[in-house]
A and B are shown apart, each in its own frame.
Chain A
Amino acid sequence: MSTVSPTDQQLIDFVLDEAALLDDLRFDDWLALFTEDGHYWMPLAHGQTDPRLHASLLYEDRLLLEVRIERLRGARTFSQQPVSRCHHLLQVPRVTARDDAAGLYTCRTAFHYTETRQDEQALYAGWATHELVRQADGALRIRLKRVDLVNCDAAFGNMQLFM
């Protein structure tokens, strides 16, 4: 087992690379970054702590993420004909917690995210928090990606891809 801990730059690069996979619509590769018990969470309330007994925009385990990704390439997914595109503009991530002994790391990243649908594009702003786990082989995986929108409690139209 590798005992080499990731540097801050490696953690930062991981977060940047993750967004690049989404921008390239490489969703299978993106899903592979999550641990088996990984979650993607987008709260509905500011400072929300409970994903179970309060509504969230998204609280997806791997099964639900896989359903979403399968759906995006389905022949009868009419809301994705033509497919949507997305663009992540990230501030440099900050490593906000590091526990080398346990192999647990947290990064926080301010972002602007753009999603298209035909001739229209929607802009969202927020902060992504990545809880990362170092695997036995030294690779990093996502246990939780939390996306806090600056206007998480607003009324929205369709959001179809991943921030």
Chain B
Amino acid sequence: MDRYRDNPDAIAALVRDTEVHKDCYIDPEVFALEMQHLFANTWVYVGHASQVPRPGDYFATTVGDQPVVMVRHTDQSIKVLYNRCAHKGVKVAPDGCGSTGKFFRCPYHAWTYRTDGKLLSIPLKKGYENTGFEACEASTGLAAVGAVHTYRDFVFCRLNPEGIGFEDFFGPSLSTLDNMVDRSPEGRLEVAGGVMRYLHRCNWKMLVDNQTDTCHPMVAHESSAGTAVKVWENAPAGTPKPMAVELFAPFVSPYEFFENMGIRVWPNGHGHTGVSDSIHAAYSPAPGYWESMVAAYGEERAKAILGDVRHNTVYFPNIMVKGPIQTLRIFRPLAADRTLVESWTFRLVGAPDLLLERTLMYNRLVNAPTSVVGHDDLEMYERAQQGLASRGSQWVNVGRLFDSAEKSQDEAVTNGTNEWQMRSQMRAWVRFMTAGMREGVAA
């Protein structure tokens, strides 16, 4: 029996000031409604322009549970189309990157489409004469998503044709993408180094929550990062500190470090940890990098760019960006209890290779299915997914440092261990889940 469909009051009741109902994480109906509403009403990351440099280049992926293809059109603009032949529904582009030339050709019956989705040709087209084909949905070609916006080469889409605008949705949070791009002396990023894909048997929101959960590293990662520090302490005096230790060690910083680094909360569920300091603040310099940044931006501005060491920026609903190490992680929802995590890495065009090497090492040590840090986290998510089935309690607690005044405050900088960001995400969740369900209620 549907309990939540067309029932915005029931959905809103899942989120209290300091508690989130377990159905948000384990209920298949809630998950289906997230795919239908949340992932259609919000701006969701699709891909990066460097993945489709030339006309005809495409990247086939998903937005929520929808197969889409991002493609460079002949006029150089980037289109996002539903990856579904108008004829029988076959995905016209295979998953991943490729080049389709001037048109998509369905591999089943050879219907062809321009790279803006318009139907180009059908074999034996005469067979459709006087059949009323022009009035059929099929005649319009590959459907486009509701809206597409490319910001500094990051491509986002909103599946619904109507809804909140791109700038209104992201607002000041775009400064994290700005900072990551500005770290290139040429102001340009390229996807580089391959993508790490890691399957999780838990709800996608557990991963989103974890991005700004600063009370877990010193506990859950004692086994990995803590061990790395201990092993390193046994190295002979004078041994240069390896890059791996430099990357691992900050994970087991004390609570005080995480409290002081701060969290910034923005409207619509976006926010970031690491306002005044972060685990990425004390990496060794890459030879030649500072000089090229000063040449490109001048000393003052270069200092400001590199001094902004934000830790994890959540772009609601389902990506996280790390500017200082050029990483973007996507938490792809597969089912209420299944998530595919993709970790993408970027080359700062014009910067030393050492920075890409560090980014890739971080990704390998922390985000891989072979990562000891990842093993720590996944164990906790999966135990939570199982534990939430318990009838012992209905609610997940997100009340740390709650102050009711925050509900009327869109933007703030607060203690780094505040769960405000998690609460803010769930307030946005209710808003974008229920937008359009009630007459006259806009997101």
Contacts and interface: CB of A to CB of B under 8 A. Distances in A.
Interface stretch (B111-119, B372-380, B402-410): B372-380
Most buried by B among A57, A67, A70, A76: A67
Contacts of B245: 63
B227 interface: yes
B121 to A, nearest CB: 35
Nearest to A157: B199
Interface string B240-282: 0010110010000000000000000000000000000000000
A159 B369 contact: yes
Contact of A45 (B194, B248, B340): B194
Contacts of A154: 197
Interface stretch (B83-91, B149-157, B360-368): B360-368
A42 interface: yes
Interface string B182-223: 000000000011111111110000000000000000001011
B237 interface: no
B231 A63 contact: yes
Interface stretch (A14-22, A48-56, A130-138): A48-56
Interface string A133-163: 0000000000000000000011111111000
Contacts of A56: 360, 364
A57 B356 CA distance: 16
Interface string B261-305: 000000000000000000000000000000000000000000000
Nearest to A57: B370
Interface string A27-58: 00000000000000010110000001111111
B326 interface: no
Given A57-B368, A63-B232, A158-B369, A76 B345 contact: no
A159 B375 CA distance: 8
A76 B372 contact: no
A26 interface: no
A9 interface: no
A78 B193 contact: no
B438 interface: no
15 contacts: A54-B360, A55-B195, A55-B196, A55-B368, A58-B370, A61-B242, A66-B231, A67-B227, A67-B231, A77-B376, A78-B379, A79-B376, A154-B197, A155-B369, A157-B199
A78 B223 contact: yes
B356 A159 contact: no
A156 B198 contact: yes
A71 B194 contact: no
B228 interface: yes
Contacts of B223: 71, 74, 76-79
Interface string B324-360: 0000000000000000100001000000010011001
Nearest to B379: A79
A64 interface: yes
A4 B365 CA distance: 40
Interface residues of B, number: 43
B230 interface: yes
A113 interface: no
Contacts of B227: 67, 70-71, 74
Nearest to B224: A71
Given A53-B360, A79-B376, A160-B375, A63 B230 contact: no
Contact of A52 (B345, B357, B375): B357
Nearest to A162: B370
Interface string B110-137: 0000000000000000000000000000
Contact of A58 (B356, B364, B374, B375): B364
Given A63-B231, A66-B231, A79-B379, A71 B372 contact: yes
Contact of B199 (A58, A70, A71, A155): A155
Contacts of B196: 44, 55
Contact of B194 (A54, A76, A155): A54
Contacts of A153: 194
A70 B372 CA distance: 11
B243 to A, nearest CB: 10
Given A74-B223, A78-B376, A52 B360 contact: yes
B378 to A, nearest CB: 6
Contact of A68 (B199, B372, B379): B372
Interface string B375-400: 11011100000000000000000000
Contacts of B194: 44-45, 54-55, 153
A79 B375 contact: yes
